[in-house]
Amino acid sequence: MGQNPKYISLFSGIGGLEPSSGAPVVFCELDRVSREVLARAYPQTRLHDDIKTLKGDGADFVLGGWPCQDLSTAGLMAGLSGVKSGLFYELCRIVRESGAHTAIMENVPGLFISRGGEDFLDVLKALDEQGLKHIAWRTLNSTELGLPQYRERIFIVASRDKNRALAVHARKPRPDLADVQCDCPDVLGFYWTGGARSLCIRKNAIPALKVGAPSEKGGTSPIAVFYGTTVRKLTPEEAIQLQGFDRKLVEGIGYGDVLRMAGDAVSRPVGAFVVDSVFEVSNEQAIELRPSEVGKVPEHGYWHSGRMCLIRHNRTFKHRHIWKFLDSDAKRQLSPQAAAGLCCRIIRAEADVPSALFEVLHERSKTRTPLLGTKVNSFDILHNELDANGYLKRLKSKRPHVQSEFFGTLD
């Protein structure tokens, strides 16, 4: 095969699932703002909006991370019969029409368990029906490629050629970890969900940027960072960099749009790692296939003619320090209202957070501000109904255990 294989990019978002170099024949993306970003990065490439009206012109590869809303554990789990995740079948149509010999796809790990595993089997069968009879998949975390973001995704490669499908397993990620040991402050990255209990927290990294991250005003589950006495939301530029993109790409685009697009994207170095591995397949790869447990889809695997195999990978979650991705001049603190709401959530969930974070949030919640568009008065709940000081004491007394397990020498 020549240097630049012909490929079609579907559900392109702002990009991410592409080789390190080389543009596709066409990008297909419904969202207007995402298309605007694609046009900045690839001014010569044709753009199409709705996959339903796209014709599959000749290509060797079809690439796409189809919508996951019906598969993700956060959604209603309608699975592949859902309106959005069912667009997978449009991807199959494009494979058929274009005559592609290989498809490279991305999705959330929820696909493994959607409808008790039935949806994943349906994906395998549908690809098999297109003649892509060798199907391999690998689970990768963005931290494995050095990004300080715990984003777990599955990458599926379906091909007419066994060696090509197995190429997704052939390489070991070699991230640039130049500043993994940096002399910088510890940072906690976290988000909280709309429910009363959920708080997800990571040290010197962030949890996964979310699909459909809310706008500045909606603010139900933004990613925030805590260091020193600062607690603030990530800026859109930081979010886009934490996906491995250049911040210049989204210059002048609104806060909500950038966060949404960042949440939707495939982390750039992860996408490039997968696509390069498959485009640059070698004939000498020896991948050991083991029998998989009956009824269980392995996180890394291979499937052919109804036979499921397991593949082992030793995963290393060593990543760059998040400090290198943060803007030192971003000073906008979390609002007192958000801080009060978060304190309520932490107390109710009895969440083991570092006492320093709780202390800073509690202090901020004491500056009472006019309530913005909410019926729940977190200030009153926190200060009249919950015992924040008592909770802080309890956190401090548990700290040695919590700190050693999760937070190192944070405060």
Ligand X SMILES: C[S@@+](CC[C@H](N)C(=O)[O-])C[C@H]1O[C@@H](n2cnc3c(N)ncnc32)[C@H](O)[C@@H]1O
The residue ranges that bind ligand X (CB under 6 A) are 11-17, 28-31, 34, 50-52, 65, 67-68, 87, 106, 211, 264-266
Q: Nearest distance from residue 214's CB to ligand X, in Å? A: 16
Q: Nearest distance from residue 265's CB to ligand X, in Å? A: 4
| Residue with the CB atom nearest ligand X in the bound state | 13
**Spatial CB neighbours of 258, under 8 Å, sequence gap ≥ 6:** 236, 237, 239, 240, 250
Report the alpha-carbon distance of residue 223 to residue 79 in Å, rounded. Answer: 27
Report the alpha-carbon distance of residue 90 to residue 305 in Å, rounded. Answer: 23
Residue pair 291/246 in contact (Cβ under 8 Å)? The answer is: no
Q: Classify 23 as helix, strand or coil.
A: coil
Q: Nearest distance from residue 138's CB to ligand X, in Å? A: 16
Q: Nearest distance from residue 19's CB to ligand X, in Å? A: 13
**DSSP codes of every residue in 148-177:** SEE-EEEEEEEESSHHHHHGGGT-------
Query: Nearer to ligand X by C-beta: 245 or 323?
Result: 245
Q: Classify 368 as helix, strand or coil.
A: coil
Residue pair 110/104 in contact (Cβ under 8 Å)? The answer is: no
Query: Nearer to ligand X by C-beta: 165 or 211?
Result: 211
Q: Nearest distance from residue 263's CB to ligand X, in Å? A: 8
Query: Nearer to ligand X by C-beta: 41 or 184?
Result: 41
| Closest by CA position to 151, among listed 160, 140, 161, 162 | 140
In our burial notation (b when 16+ CB lie closer than 10 A, e otherwise), range 19-33 reads beeebbbbbbbbbeb
- Rounded to the nearest 10 degrees, the angle between the axes of helix 88-98 and helix 118-129 is 20
Query: Nearer to ligand X by C-beta: 226 or 245?
Result: 245
- Beta-bridge mates of residue 307: 304
Query: Nearer to ligand X by C-beta: 97 or 359?
Result: 97
Joined tokens for residue 339: 């801080």
Query: Nearer to ligand X by C-beta: 29 or 352?
Result: 29
Residue pair 115/211 in contact (Cβ under 8 Å)? The answer is: no
Query: Nearer to ligand X by C-beta: 259 or 388?
Result: 259
Report the alpha-carbon distance of residue 299 to residue 155 in Å, rounded. Answer: 10
Give the Cβ contact number of residue 376 at 10 Å: 12
Query: Nearer to ligand X by C-beta: 173 or 341?
Result: 173
Q: Look at strands 301-304 and 307-310 and give their pairing.
A: antiparallel
Q: Nearest distance from residue 409's CB to ligand X, in Å? A: 36
The type of residue at 349 is A
Q: Nearest distance from residue 51's CB to ligand X, in Å? A: 4
Q: Nearest distance from residue 331's CB to ligand X, in Å? A: 30
Q: Nearest distance from residue 340's CB to ligand X, in Å? A: 33
Query: Nearer to ligand X by C-beta: 11 or 407?
Result: 11
Residue pair 34/10 in contact (Cβ under 8 Å)? The answer is: no
